[in-house]
Amino acid sequence: MTTSTIILAAGQGTRMRSGLPKVLQPLGGRPMLAHVLDTVSRLEDTRVYVVHGHGGERVQAAFQERQLQWVHQAEQLGTGHAVMQAMGRIADDDLVLVLYGDVPLMRLPTLTGLLDAARPGALALLTARVDDPAGYGRIVRGEGGSIQRIVEHKDASERERAITEINTGLLACPARKLREWLARLDNDNAQGEYYLTDIIGMAAGEGYPVEGIIVEDISEIHGINDRRQLAEAERILRERIADQLLAAGVTLADPSRIDVRGELRCGRDVFLDVNVVFEGEVELGDDVVIGPNCVIRNARIGSGTRIDAFSHIDSADIGRDARIGPYARLRPGAELADEVHVGNFVEVKKSRIGRGSKANHLSYIGDAEVGAGVNIGAGTITCNYDGANKHRTVIEDGAFIGSNSALVAPVIIGRNATVGAGSTISKNAPAGALTVSRARQTTIEGWQRPQKQKKD
Ligand code: UD1
Ligand code: CA
């Protein structure tokens, strides 16, 4: 039996108070809907229908590269109406799974559990027991405990409102039956909507099996309607990721103060201090230590390397046993070999730095090719930009650049060359020699400091 997954995502999300369609709001650095789609993509053999309405073009544009069936619901007339819009394209023999675009944290086994329960011919419904059921549809069970119907909060009596088992909204059902019941829906209720939940009463009424599955971990059904719920979802996600990292052997100084907005792979005995933000794809080797308050995006960091506090690393590749920071900034295209030291207030962009080279203080290294064993003194700048074009600086193995030098590119500093401190180097500096370019120091003998004149 093939499955068709219908994701309801047409709601406006007014309570987010945002210009962005709700399902595009970022959660863990990715649109909320991407989380649902990723989980669904791990189901075998399913077609995915996304019912969109408000801001539909933006939602479609955000997921262009995915194989999705887009269904437009022009007017939001209710969850039943939304499902109906997709049914036209779904075969009778399919099994239908209904999910919400704003319930992004459900896990794969929960979905397969629903499908497995529905496959033999049943309406499978995911329910939850909660402390505060306000706002949710309530599960009304009969004498023997079987589910009879769902009553929406706004339509419920006092007694029904006391029920703490709620409808999560997620369900699975054979398409043939679903279509039949949907055709019979009306909007004669408190909200004037076509409620998907009314099909439960219809199924039970004709003796069709209704299987309630109670979700164990209610974080899976956390719905997002406002910013507070979005922040709460972020917290749940953070906790899950922290748990995975801890289980994989990573040490976290504080599991509640790490953010992984993308994918993080760690070797053995990695230590992550507080407030580290990871974005995109990051790979850390064995024994890597990341100090507090670092932002690390799309980077590979070799084994034994230490990144000290407040460093910012973006699209960089760092070898083994390197020392970076505190306050270092590695920008896209920074490629650092093993044992490189990059210290405080050093910025490296689109440059390769060879094994064991050091730039420990206050430097800018851009568009440069730096060899191995090079020492770059404090305050050294590669002047790579002439206002129109970028030029390269080459610093060969073993060179020593004195402090506060300006290397005006294009320029080559030869192997084992020494550049005197404070030099402005605009012509190539030959290998093995000392090149100095600064005014000679003179001392004026007998010079007197001016004296303050006495007032009479
Ligand atoms: C719905 C359920 C309720 C359940 C709750 C769980 C119904 C009638 N009620 O209520 O039993 O406890 O979810 O959160 O189903 N949507 C559309 N088109 C529409 C209407 C809604 O795509 O015309 C989408 C929304 O974007 C949202 C989802 O369906 O993703 C649920 O809609 P919402 O209005 O939030 O339903 P609730 O009233 O919360
Ligand atoms: Ca809702």
Ligand 2: centre distance to CA 196 (Å): 13
Whole-number pLDDT of residue 1: 80
Structure tokens at 410: 């294009």
Whole-number pLDDT of residue 316: 98
Interval 127-132 mean pLDDT: 97
pTM of the model: 0.92
User: C-alpha 425: how far from its chain's center?
Assistant: 44
Instruction: Say if residues 222 and 237 touch (Cβ distance below 8 Å).
Output: no
Instruction: Ligand 1, residue 8: give the atom nearest the CA.
Output: 22
Confidence of residue 34 (pLDDT cuts 50, 70, 90): very high
Lowest mean pLDDT, pick from 10-24, 140-154, 201-215, 387-401? 10-24
Structural domains of the chain, with CATH: 3-221 (3.90.550.10), 227-435 (2.160.10.10)
Query: Ligand 1 within 6 A of 99 CB?
Result: no
Query: Ligand 1 within 6 A of 20 CB?
Result: no
Interval 102-123 mean pLDDT: 98
Q: Is the pLDDT of residue 173 over 90?
A: yes
Per-residue pLDDT tens digits for 285-294? 999 999 999 9
Whole-number pLDDT of residue 11: 85
Whole-number pLDDT of residue 12: 79
Query: Ligand 1 within 6 A of 370 CB?
Result: no
Whole-number pLDDT of residue 308: 98
Ligand 1: centre distance to CA 23 (Å): 13
- Give the separation between CA 225 and CA 203, rounded to whole angstroms: 29
Residue showing tokens 């109406």: 81
Ligand 2: centre distance to CA 180 (Å): 25
Ligand 2: centre distance to CA 225 (Å): 6
Q: Is the pLDDT of residue 168 over 90?
A: yes
Mean pLDDT of the chain: 97
- Give the separation between CA 110 and CA 120, rounded to whole angstroms: 17
Strands 352-353 and 368-370 come out as: parallel
Query: Ligand 1 within 6 A of 394 CB?
Result: no
Residue showing tokens 């209610």: 218
Ligand nearest to the CA of 22: 1
Ligand nearest to the CA of 102: 1
Per-residue pLDDT tens digits for 317-336? 999 999 999 999 999 999 99
Q: Percent of the chain at pLDDT above 70?
A: 100
Ligand 1: centre distance to CA 433 (Å): 76
Q: Whose CA is nearest to atom 25 of ligand 1?
A: 11
Query: Ligand 1 within 6 A of 78 CB?
Result: yes
Per-residue pLDDT tens digits for 229-256? 999 999 999 999 999 999 999 999 999 9
Q: Is the pLDDT of residue 54 over 80?
A: no
Phi-psi region of 139 (alpha: psi -120 to 50; beta: other; left: phi over 0): beta
Query: Ligand 1 within 6 A of 364 CB?
Result: no
Whole-number pLDDT of residue 456: 79
Whole-number pLDDT of residue 448: 95
Interval 208-219 mean pLDDT: 97
Ligand 2: centre distance to CA 169 (Å): 9
Instruction: Say if residues 24 and 31 touch (Cβ distance below 8 Å).
Output: yes
Q: Burial level of 223, CB count in 10 A (0-12/13-18/19+)? A: middle
Is 361 labeled as catalytic in the residue annotation?
yes
Residue showing tokens 């910013």: 227
Catalytic residue (choose from 54, 153, 361, 391): 361
Nearest to 126, CA basis, from 24, 200, 27: 200
Whole-number pLDDT of residue 149: 98
Confidence of residue 455 (pLDDT cuts 50, 70, 90): confident
Instruction: Ligand 1, residue 82: give the atom nearest the CA.
Output: 18
Phi, psi of 230 (to 5 degrees): -65, -45
Whole-number pLDDT of residue 437: 97
Query: Ligand 1 within 6 A of 151 CB?
Result: no
Instruction: Ligand 1, residue 225: give the atom nearest the CA.
Output: 35
Q: Percent of the chain at pLDDT above 90?
A: 97
Interval 51-68 mean pLDDT: 93
Query: Ligand 1 within 6 A of 77 CB?
Result: yes
Nearest to 133, CA basis, from 221, 208, 260: 221
Instruction: Ligand 1, residue 77: give the atom nearest the CA.
Output: 23
Higher per-residue pLDDT: 196 or 455: 196
Ligand 1: centre distance to CA 178 (Å): 17
Q: Is the pLDDT of residue 198 over 80?
A: yes
Ligand nearest to the CA of 229: 2
- What is the best residue among 79, 154, 171 to mutate for testing ligand 1's pocket, by most ligand atoms within 8 Å of CB? 79
Per-residue pLDDT tens digits for 353-381? 999 999 999 999 999 999 999 999 999 99
- Give the separation between CA 198 and CA 332, rounded to whole angstroms: 55
Instruction: Ligand 1, residue 53: give the atom nearest the CA.
Output: 22
Whole-number pLDDT of residue 73: 96
Confidence of residue 445 (pLDDT cuts 50, 70, 90): very high
